[in-house]
Amino acid sequence: MMPQPAPEKNETPDNPPQPLPIAVLISGNGSNLHAIIKAIQNQTLPARICVVISNNPHAPGLHVAQQAGIPTRILDHQAYADRAAFDAALQDTLDSFNPELVVLAGFMRILGTAFVTHYEGRMLNIHPSLLPAFTGLHTHQQALDKGVTEHGASIHFVTHALDGGPVILQARVPILPHDNIKTLAQRVLKVEHDIYPLAIRWFAEGRLRFAQGKIMLDGMPLSQPVDYKHTHHVQPPPPS
């Protein structure tokens, strides 16, 4: 069973909470974007996507957004003189849509210090490994090379440390004897599609925050990442 939403203080049947405006940044297929869109459509995620931005003009995920009627913008990083210029343009575009949360979903650009500071506490990323294991690229290959028996995906707040921000939620998958990069990537991607909408939901419900270097979930500091298979234990606080 999934955690139930915590009622907002001033929420009444005549005054339902407004969906959280989020912006999603992609570079590729957009399967995580699709999972987020589906969760919104199924009413399990109280959010609305105000814009999808891709740095890759050919990202298939742009079509996923367009089919759902979501505004898209392309900011091709190759068109900018340097990282700072790209980041500044990205920030201007994002801020023109007033998102309350920025969701990196397969966004393959490293973001600079000023950008990360601007969105600190309101930017999430998904990484295909059980962080802190296997940061950077080629995580499935790294896991196979290391010979570990378990792999997975992590949702974390974005900080200045690359793939090093505090981890909120993780899902584990086994590594099977005949796995290759493709079979393992498919297994991990499947759980990514479960955990990303769930973490965004916690944020949208006001249950999840990041302040002064600490993750707070339901008003308590989170000392270790929530394991997805235990999320039925992560209940919202009782209504006050």
Of 153 and 171, the one with the shorter C-beta distance to ligand GRF is 153
Q: CA of 201: how far to CAs of 29, 30, 220, in Å?
A: 22, 19, 17
Active site residue 151: no
User: Which residues contribute to the site for ligand GRF (CB under 6 A)?
Assistant: 26, 28-32, 61, 105-106, 126-128, 153, 189, 192
Q: How many CB atoms lie within 10 A of CB 234?
A: 18
Shortest spacing between CB 124 and ligand GRF, in angstroms: 11
Cβ-contact 36, 103 below 8 angstroms:
yes
Closer CB to ligand GRF, 50 or 189, in the complex: 189
Shortest Å, Cβ 30 to ligand GRF: 5
Q: What whole-number distance in Å separates Cα of residue 156 and Cα of residue 125?
A: 6
Tell the smallest beta-carbon distance from residue 181 to ligand GRF (Å): 12
Residue where the block lists tokens 């990205």 = 90
Listed residue (122, 209, 202, 131) closest to 164, CA to CA: 131
Instruction: Name the closest residue to ligand GRF (Cβ).
Output: 106
Judged by CB, which is closer to ligand GRF: 26, or 226?
A: 26
Token digits of residue 10: 């001033």
Q: Which of 127, 140, 151, 156 is catalytic?
A: 127
